[in-house]
A and B are shown apart, each in its own frame.
Chain A
């Protein structure tokens, strides 16, 4: 990466992806009928910038394509073309081609000769209507206009006579005759004659007028074009006459004119030529302000996050020790620890904010997906996105993309009806998919809502029964039926389409979301549509937890899942025929989960009426009661991956270090839910003589 051009390239491609996002956003707004001038301008600018950068790196295919696109947009921008839906379609196609070309350029891949040719042709066809011929790569030509020092060198030196009289405008545009004369001198042998005859008396002199003119004789190997290029920026701000006096033969020919007037050497010229004095400079070198943001390697940020995590643990430890101190005895120390806790919390928030990114980068992939899907399925759909600026942890933006795409795909493929069916159902033939993100209660929510047919519960139920997912006599609520689509191997589309695939879908989606510490649920109303709601943690490094005692061990329950803790009355606890306990909670029976059994803790309180029941909400809103001894406290815990530090343990999502330095495990509610539904029997039938050891005891044993 030592080559600066390579570095620029990396930045260029990063920038391209931002530009593509704003380009697509703009096109979407245009499609939504928002033909605001600023929208068209921003669309134009995006293409323009991509083209500009591409040119600098010699991505010619990209430049050529962007050039046509840019010209078309420029005509729309300037009003030469009236925006039409048909144009928009072409522009959207062009956007796709442009993205592909950028991708290819980034990977250094060759693109087929005729890739995008049809779209380019379509754009040219639109341009032809305007009668404005497409400037064929005008820019490129001018870019290779030879600079004076590379201009064609003629065999022999020629003599040029140049007369130059600047107007006041030349100075107003901050051009400087001295610099021009110096540049001219660089072309060959220069003699300079200054004419000051227009100079008025000092009283009449206007500081901003131009009074001087010059005559030059230049002997040079360069041609006239090179001389004119010296005056490139000022040719309209002066009288300029360049006369080619032919081949320069002898020194005598040159001096001939020299005696005619006042000739001075260029060096002396400086004293008199500038008719406007530049204001005195006062550069304070400390004043230089550079960029507003910096790029940092993710590694460095993660190290920082980690260190802060350790700091949180140390602080928790200090706090625990400090709580035993008497305030009267050590007022400053106790106060200091309080202060420290608060600052660490702020520090942690700030560090986490570094990793936060707007979900826009993920959302922005969706419009194209919807476009492609609707085209492939002959459906009509509009994607409405809100809350794209909502920020989430980088890991979330990295890993949420695929599940999100899958769900959008499902919504378009299975959710939305065909246009004619929609019309028959009294709906707009164009379906709407709302994709939104927002913060609530310390979590981020992403919702995907369609106004399609909704989930056909009888089909889902039949299918589930046929697949053996539920027993035929199961009495399921509407919600429970909806949630069956998250079961492995479930696909309700009557035939497998090439769009949504083979129904490996929603269970994988749920797994992915859970892997991020998130939860997903669905609500659906027949005929009106479905809504998927994902809730995700703001950060994957810390969470708010409830520390509970189970026997001699401490476990952490994610606070977000906890509904309530209570000690049930004897009459509220009942037994199912299979030996499982249930408890009456808010008018319904909920399953009591004996965590001590799942984690093999033998000295735990087993009677819920003697200990406590923590009511938690599992997947799909299912409530469960976890039997624990009692609650310890509520605290922020730093999540350490058990998988990378130890081994994957079922029923445990990670570990943390408590204030006393002890390792504590974090209860994985959704796997517990599965375990208690499916495997509880197994535990109960396990022979009593096999001595099971709790995972926490085992880990502690191995650590100490």
Chain B
């Protein structure tokens, strides 16, 4: 069965890149523009991996991750955060919120796919 990914990013460019890369690799991809809309997508759905940006309006990626970890649907689903900051701060923040891992921007499609496969097989 096709794996389904959720990409949460306010940047259409980023959503498109993530989406294109994963679709090429055989994933179904659902997009959301911010954390709040991401949470809306989660309800009742079943994703195999979630990729979220950190800086977003309405609800940022850290809050989104924390909230998603509380939801039954995504409690044990890998959540990757996209970050331009390679510093330990944001990774720790992400970790504390429950993120599985991170992808440092800018990334190329192979790198993205590699990390996604790392966490969701």
- Measured CB to CB, the residues of A under 8 A from B are 4, 7-8, 11-12, 14-15, 41-42, 44-45, 48-49, 51-53, 55-56, 58, 135, 138-143, 147, 171-176, 178-179, 182-183, 232-233, 236-237, 276, 278-279, 281-283, 285, 287-292
Once A288-B28, A290-B30 are accepted as A-B contacts, the answer to whether A135 and B87 lie under 8 Å apart by CB is yes
Collect the chain B residues with CB atoms within 8 Å of residue A281's CB: 46
Taking beta carbons and an 8 Å cutoff, which residues of B are in contact with A? 1-2, 4, 10-14, 16-17, 20, 28, 30-31, 33, 41, 44-46, 55-57, 69, 72-73, 75-79, 84-87, 95, 98-102, 104-107, 110-111, 114, 118-121
Question: Which residues of chain A are near B79, meaning CB under 8 Å?
Answer: 173-174
How near does chain B come to A136, taking the closest CB pair, in angstroms? 12
**A289 near B41: Cβ-Cβ < 8 Å:** yes
Query: Which residues of A sit under 8 angstroms from B100, Cβ to Cβ?
Result: 173-175, 233
Whole-angstrom CA separation of A157 from B52 in the bound complex: 38
Contact check, B105 vs A52: say whether CB atoms are below 8 A apart.
yes
Contact assessment for B102 and A233 in the assembled complex, using a CB-CB cutoff below 8 Å: yes
A-B contact pairs, 13 of them (CB 8 A): A14-B12, A42-B57, A44-B55, A45-B10, A52-B11, A53-B14, A56-B107, A143-B106, A183-B118, A233-B101, A283-B45, A283-B46, A291-B31
Structural contact, B106 and A52, CB atoms closer than 8 A: yes
In the assembly, what is the distance between CA of A4 and CA of B10, in Å?
A: 20
Seed contacts A53-B13, A143-B111, A173-B79; 16 additional CB < 8 Å A-B pairs: A4-B20, A11-B16, A15-B12, A52-B11, A52-B106, A56-B17, A135-B87, A173-B99, A174-B119, A183-B118, A233-B118, A236-B95, A279-B73, A281-B46, A288-B30, A290-B30
Would you call A175 and B101 a contact (CB within 8 A)?
yes
Q: For residue B72, which residue of chain A has the nearest CB?
A: A279
Alpha-carbon distance A53/B84, docked complex (angstroms): 10
A173–B75 CA distance with the chains assembled, in angstroms: 8
Residue B111 contacts which of A14, A53, A147, A279 (CB distance < 8 angstroms)?
A: A147
- CB <8 Å contact, A56 and B13: yes
Do A172 and B10 touch across chains, with their CB atoms under 8 A apart? Answer: no
Q: How far is the CA of A587 from the CA of B105 in the complex (A)?
A: 73
Provide the residues of chain A in CB contact with B31, threshold 8 Å.
290-291
Instruction: Tell which of A139, A276, A292 touches B86, judged by Cβ atoms closer than 8 Å.
Output: A139
Which B residues are CB-close (under 8 A) to A172?
Answer: 69, 98
C-alpha spacing A8/B98, complex, angstroms: 30
Contact B77 A174 (CB under 8 A): yes
> Which of B4, B28, B105 is packed against the most chain A CB atoms within 10 Å?
B105
Closest beta carbon of chain A to B96's beta carbon, Å: 10
Q: Which residue of A lies closest to B30 (CB)?
A: A288
Tell me, in angstroms, the Cα distance from A11 to B69 when the chains sit together: 32
CB–CB A139/B106 < 8 A: yes
A-B pairs, top 5 by smallest CB distance, nearest first, are A55-B106, A233-B101, A142-B86, A12-B13, A56-B106
Q: Is the CB of B86 within 8 A of A138?
A: yes
Q: In the complex, which residues of chain B have a beta carbon less than 8 angstroms from the beta carbon of A48?
A: 55, 84
Contacts of A182 in B (CB 8 A): 121
Question: A236–B88 Cα gap in the complex (Å)?
Answer: 12
> How many angstroms from the CA of A291 to the CA of B14 in the assembled complex?
13
Determine whether the beta carbon of B45 is less than 8 Å from that of A143: no
B74 and chain A: residue at smallest CB distance: A174
Determine the chain B residues whose CB is within 8 A of the CB of A183 once the complex forms. Answer: 118
**A45→B45 contact, CB < 8 A:** no
**Interface-central residue, A58, A178, A233, A237, by most chain B CB under 10 Å:** A233
Tell me the minimal C-beta distance from A126 to chain B in angstroms.
20
Complex partner residue of A52 from B76, B84, B87, CB under 8 angstroms: B84
The distance from the CB of A289 to the nearest CB of chain B, in whole angstroms, is 6
Partner of B121, one of A143, A179, A289, A292: A179
Tell me whether B30 and A11 are in contact (CB under 8 A). no
Q: Return the chain A residue nearest B97 by Cβ.
A: A173
Within the complex, the shortest CB–CB distance from B104 to chain A, in Å, comes to 5
- A14 nearest CB neighbor, chain B only: B12
Interchain CB contact (< 8 A) of B4 among A14, A288, A291: A288
User: How far is B78's CA from A681's CA once the two chains are assembled, in angstroms?
Assistant: 84
Q: Which residue on chain B has the smallest CB distance to residue A49? A: B11
Q: Nearest chain A CB to B107's CB is how many angstroms away?
A: 7
Say which residue of A41, A278, A289 sits within 8 Å of B76 (CB atoms). A278
The complex places the Cα of A285 from the Cα of B27 at a distance, in Å, of 12
B78's nearest neighbour on chain A, judged by CB, is A174
Residues of A within 8 A of B2 (CB): 283, 285
Nearest-neighbor residue (CB-CB) of A237 within chain B: B95
Q: Which residues of chain B have C-beta atoms less than 8 A from A174's C-beta?
A: 75-79, 98, 100, 119
Output the least CB separation between A46 and chain B (Å).
Answer: 10
Select one of B14, B46, B69 contacting A282, CB under 8 A. Answer: B46
**CB-CB < 8 A to A49: which residues of B?**
10-11, 14, 55
> Nearest chain-B residue to A58 (Cβ)?
B106
Instruction: List chain A residues, Cβ under 8 A from B114.
Output: 147
Closest partner residue, chain B, to A148 (CB atom)? B114
Write out the residue numbers on chain B whose beta carbons fall within 8 Å of the beta carbon of A179: 118-121
Min distance, Cβ A57 to any Cβ of chain B, angstroms = 8
A279/B76 contact (C-beta < 8 A), A139-B106, A173-B100, A288-B28 known: yes
A233 vs B56: C-alpha distance in the bound complex, in angstroms?
23
Distance between B101 CB and nearest chain A CB, rounded to angstroms = 4
Shortest distance between the CB of B61 and any CB in chain A (Å): 11
Q: Closest residue to A22 on the B side, CB-wise?
A: B57
Contact A45 B69 (CB under 8 A): no
- The residue from B41, B78, B104 contacting A142, defined by CB atoms under 8 A apart: B104
Q: How far is the CA of A138 from the CA of B56 in the complex (A)?
A: 21
Q: Which residues of B contact A142 (CB under 8 A)?
A: 86, 104
**Within the assembled complex, what's the spacing in Å between the Cα atoms of A290 and B4?**
12
Instruction: Decide yes or no: A173 and B98 within 8 Å by CB, A42-B57, A179-B118, A290-B30 being known contacts.
Output: yes
Q: In the complex the two chains form, what is the Cα distance from A635 to B75 in whole Å?
A: 61
**Chain A proximity of B69: nearest CB distance (Å):** 7
Cα A140 to Cα B84 in complex, Å, equals: 9
- Expressed in whole angstroms, the Cα–Cα distance for A7 and B20 within the complex equals 11
Asked whether, in the complex, the Cβ of A15 is within 8 Å of the Cβ of B13, the reply is yes
**A141 CB contacts on chain B under 8 angstroms:** 86
A171 CA to B77 CA, complexed, in Å: 10
- Contact of B11 with A53 in the complex, beta carbons under 8 Å: yes
